[in-house]
Amino acid sequence: MTRYYNGTSWQEASVRYWNGTTWGIAPVMRWNGTAWVSVINNVQDISLEAGRQEYGSDYGFLTSAPSGGSLISMWTRIPDPGAAPWSRGNMDVHTLFGADWYFRCLVGNSNSAGALNANSMLFARSDNTWIGDYSYYSDNGWTEDQVKGWIWAAWQVIIGASSIIIRQWLKVGESGSVFAAGESEITFTDARAVLVANGWSQAAADAWIPGQPNRFHIGGDNGYICHARVQAISTTPTLSALDAISNLNSSDSTAWGDYRFGWVDGAADLSDRSGNNRNLSTGGTLYQGLTGPVL
């Protein structure tokens, strides 16, 4: 396929033909794993590099988040791991916070043999006590190019009256399909037992009552991210709805917050394209990243 850069993003060049009366646009097609689809009007933004400074603040953040259920997704890519054989650990790409808890959401744990792992980790916020790993996914059936390439990831967190539900989905490559990649339910009772086992008093553990989210980060560990989206939703989204989200290549007014999270006109674009004015901030620096996925 033929692309050109319009000063902001990569666009597909139209292929034109004369039909005897007028000029038409010939369909440029690609295989999406199920069927041939047109790639006319696809775009390819420039991603942002997050987390260059280890344990720094090279991420985007907002000091609010949806209540009742949040679905946060983004395209991710690990830094070049070099020649095979190689192996690397987790890449923290998203963190969701409540008053006394936070979830770290991780992808990128992979190797040159085609292994891919993703999961979430729950902590008590007051002293960073680790409660457990959840929504765990592990598969050795991918290729090196796939695990080194663009991977779309989404996490849904629902804070209930007595438990927390976290769901995770992945899509490996632009032409892949979204699939469920782990779901966990953590009861407050079980979480409090872990806190006590880690040195909390029973009274302090009993007082640990997770409230609704109040902050989120996009980015964390060093890697590339683009096209982040936040949705307020408490029901389980369908795979087709998630696939549509993963393929979005323009602003989405139905989102709670929609972010290009890309490099535009020489700077990081952290603006909210949904029209809700929930722009991200950063306490560090986000750098020009790699050319993003073709969407």
User: Tens digits of per-residue pLDDT, 160-175?
Assistant: 999 999 999 999 999 9
Residue 12 has pLDDT above 60, yes or no: no
How far, in Å, CA of 42 to CA of 32, rounded? 13
Q: What is the pLDDT of residue 1?
A: 40
- Check if the beta carbon of residue 148 is closer than 8 Å to that of residue 126: no
Task: Give the chain's domains with CATH numbers.
Answer: 1-44 (no CATH), 45-291 (2.60.120.200)
Inter-residue contact 127 to 145 (CB < 8 Å): no
Residue 62 has pLDDT above 60, yes or no: yes
Q: What percent of the chain has pLDDT over 70?
A: 85
CA distance 103 to 191: 13
Confidence of residue 16 (pLDDT cuts 50, 70, 90): low
Take residue 96 and report the two structure tokens written for it.
């969701």
Alpha-carbon distance 194 to 188, whole Å?
A: 10
Give yes or no for residue 271 having a pLDDT over 50. yes
pLDDT tens profile 23-42? 665 555 555 454 555 554 56
Collapsing DSSP to helix, strand or coil, 278 comes out as coil
pLDDT tens-place string over residues 91-120: 999 999 999 999 999 999 999 999 999 999
Tell me the average pLDDT of the chain.
Answer: 90
Residue 195 has pLDDT above 70, yes or no: yes
Lowest mean pLDDT among 26-35, 38-47, 152-161, 253-262: 26-35
User: Given this model, what pLDDT does residue 295 score?
Assistant: 87
Give me the pLDDT at residue 30, please: 53
How crowded is residue 224: how many other Cβ atoms within 10 Å of its Cβ?
Answer: 24
**Is residue 2 scored above 50 in pLDDT?**
no
Q: Tell me the residue length of the chain.
A: 295
Tell me the C-alpha distance between 184 and 157, whole Å: 10
Give the C-alpha separation, 144 to 112, whole Å: 5
Which pLDDT belongs to residue 250? 86
Residue 279: strand pairing partners: none
- Answer whether 150's CB lies under 8 Å from 246's CB: no
